[in-house]
Amino acid sequence: MKTIVSPRKIVASADASGLISQAGALLLLETLRVTGLQRALSQQLQRWRPARAIHDPGKVITDLAITLALGGDCLADIAMLRAQPQMFGLVASDPTVSRLIDRLAADPARALKAIRAARAAARERAWALAGGDAPGADGDLIPIDIDATIVTAHSDKQDAAPTWKKTFGFHPMTVFADHGPAGAGESLALLLRPGNAGSNTAADHIDATSLALAQLPKQRRRKVLIRTDSGGGTHEFLSWLTRPGRWLAYSIGFTLTADIGEAILALPADAWTPAYDADRQVRPGAWVAELTGMLDLSAWPRGMRLIVRKERPHPGAQLRFTDLDGHRFTCFVTSTKQGQLADLELRHRRRARCEDRIRAAKDTGLRNLPLHDFAQNQIWCEIVALACELLAWMQMLALHGVDARRYEPKRLRLRLFAVAGRLVRGGRRLRLRIAARWPWAGWLTAALTRLQALPTPT
């Protein structure tokens, strides 16, 4: 006979002191310190600080960025930090936060320029501290991925419009720096656009790329690979990328036209070489070939190469009218003159990681634009970018060498940020005590130790 024991009843009461929820957010606070982001924001936003104001605008903006990094999705979620002043310090009230956003939105061009300048300064510091783990430190090109996404709106916000996906909202252009297979990526630009903005608008691609390049350290702006889908395959954008003095490499999707289809059919069988999978192993049922010499590309930038990939569609896939001979074809153009076709095609296909970065950004405040005015939501997008960067810099500086550098925000929150702790005083210092049985306590304490060993910028 088995005895059935019911679980004990747990009685809850809100009377504890010294406890810290989201104790892992100390990683973000240390990242703010070592990158100098809050100090840079305070300097850049000084003009928006009223006389006799208690709260520094730079502190308010970084508090909002931490809120989004921890999972918040509106201004009021900053209350999560306000409830724990022993860890996050003095946090502004909701009316104070709203008034700051209104003041910044009253002069959006200058406010955005100031926030972006602070971000660029902090990024240069973060990459310098990361050393060999920073993008481009190995001498390779830094992949810069550009893509647009849909952000739906559930109310009539300013400049919200019907989108090409038959939804209603906005169509921002995003730019991310890829950290490669060993890491995640960081936001360089979030260009807010109305919902009816085009996917292949060259002017928007140029603006987004210019903003992204301005975020990079000057010594690395000539070691960049621009990657986009076919929306960037326009004469105007490619001509801008290849203007003398830019020194930008590109790998850009290209629309499959009738002339390209005829050239594909004219290719001999021995012109196709096997394509690679993500591990650079031969992928069965996929091939690549070059079409550069078979088409008239005189109207396009000099040195542009056109490469095509064909593969057998997976079972159940719907063929398109551009698919020929039972295969699916995709094209891209590149300025790279050397390397095997399979390597160049694999490098271009890795642009798909941009979708992961967009998903992470939507999980960090981009899924919903909570404010009404367009300028206010532009400021919100900059705060989203700050939150994404904080996460990326923290992973790059504190989690290198472990799988956690590739974690998306949801997993970071579950494993590292959500742990509770207790603040205790002793020996003239504060100590954060984390539960010994927390499965990832070792990773968390090691990451904190690594960050606290880094110097504060002077």
The predicted-structure confidence for 67-112, as pLDDT tens digits, reads as follows 999 999 999 999 999 999 989 999 999 999 999 999 999 999 999 9
Q: How far apart are the first and last CA of the chain?
A: 71
Mean pLDDT of 169-195: 93
For residues 43 and 48, what is the distance between their CA atoms, to the nearest angstrom?
10
Residue whose structure tokens are 């010994």? 436
Q: What is the dihedral of CA 394, 396, 402, 404, to 10 degrees?
A: 50
Instruction: Output the pLDDT for position 424.
Output: 86
Instruction: Output the pLDDT for position 317.
Output: 66
Q: Alpha-carbon Rg of the chain, whole angstroms?
A: 25
Instruction: Output the pLDDT for position 283.
Output: 87
325 against 61, higher pLDDT: 61
What is residue 362's DSSP assignment? I
Mean pLDDT of 167-193: 93
For residues 38 and 32, what is the distance between their CA atoms, to the nearest angstrom?
6
The predicted-structure confidence for 209-244, as pLDDT tens digits, reads as follows 999 999 999 999 989 999 999 999 999 999 999 999
Three-class HEC string of 39-76:
HHHHHHCHHHCCCCCCCCHHHHHHHHHHHHHCCCCCHH
Contacts of 136-142 with C-beta under 8 Å, sequence gap 24+, read 136/220, 136/223, 139/223, 140/223, 141/223, 141/224, 141/225, 141/249, 142/177, 142/178, 142/216, 142/220, 142/223, 142/224, 142/225
Mean pLDDT of 369-374: 95
Mean pLDDT of 139-156: 93
For residues 112 and 189, what is the distance between their CA atoms, to the nearest angstrom?
11
Question: To the nearest whole number, what is the mean pLDDT of the chain?
Answer: 91
Confidence check: pLDDT of 430 > 80: yes
Mean pLDDT of 171-195: 93
Using a pLDDT cut of 90, give the percent of the chain over it: 70
Confidence check: pLDDT of 3 > 80: no
Residue 1 binned pLDDT confidence (cut-offs 50, 70, 90): low
Are the C-beta atoms of 386 and 37 separated by less than 8 Å?
A: yes
Confidence check: pLDDT of 184 > 90: no
51 against 68, higher pLDDT: 68
For residues 324 and 414, what is the distance between their CA atoms, to the nearest angstrom?
46
Q: How many CA atoms lie within 13 A of 364 on its CB side?
A: 32
Instruction: Output the pLDDT for position 322.
Output: 59
Instruction: Output the pLDDT for position 228.
Output: 95
Confidence check: pLDDT of 180 > 90: no
Q: Report how far apart, in Å, the C-alpha atoms of 446 and of each of 51, 60, 231, 245, 428 are.
A: 42, 29, 43, 44, 22
Instruction: Output the pLDDT for position 319.
Output: 67
Are the C-beta atoms of 53 and 393 separated by less than 8 Å?
A: no
Angle at 183 between CA 377 and CA 120, to 5 degrees: 45
Mean pLDDT of 163-169: 92
Residue 17 binned pLDDT confidence (cut-offs 50, 70, 90): confident
Confidence check: pLDDT of 312 > 70: yes
Exposed, middle or buried, 320 (CB in 10 Å: 0-12/13-18/19+)? exposed
pTM (two decimals): 0.92
Instruction: Output the pLDDT for position 327.
Output: 80
For residues 39 and 60, what is the distance between their CA atoms, to the nearest angstrom?
12
- Report helix, strand or coil for 1: coil
For residues 168 and 153, what is the distance between their CA atoms, to the nearest angstrom?
6
For residues 276 and 51, what is the distance between their CA atoms, to the nearest angstrom?
61
Are the C-beta atoms of 451 and 31 separated by less than 8 Å?
A: yes
Confidence check: pLDDT of 24 > 90: yes
Confidence check: pLDDT of 324 > 90: no
Exposed, middle or buried, 14 (CB in 10 Å: 0-12/13-18/19+)? exposed
For residues 415 and 288, what is the distance between their CA atoms, to the nearest angstrom?
41
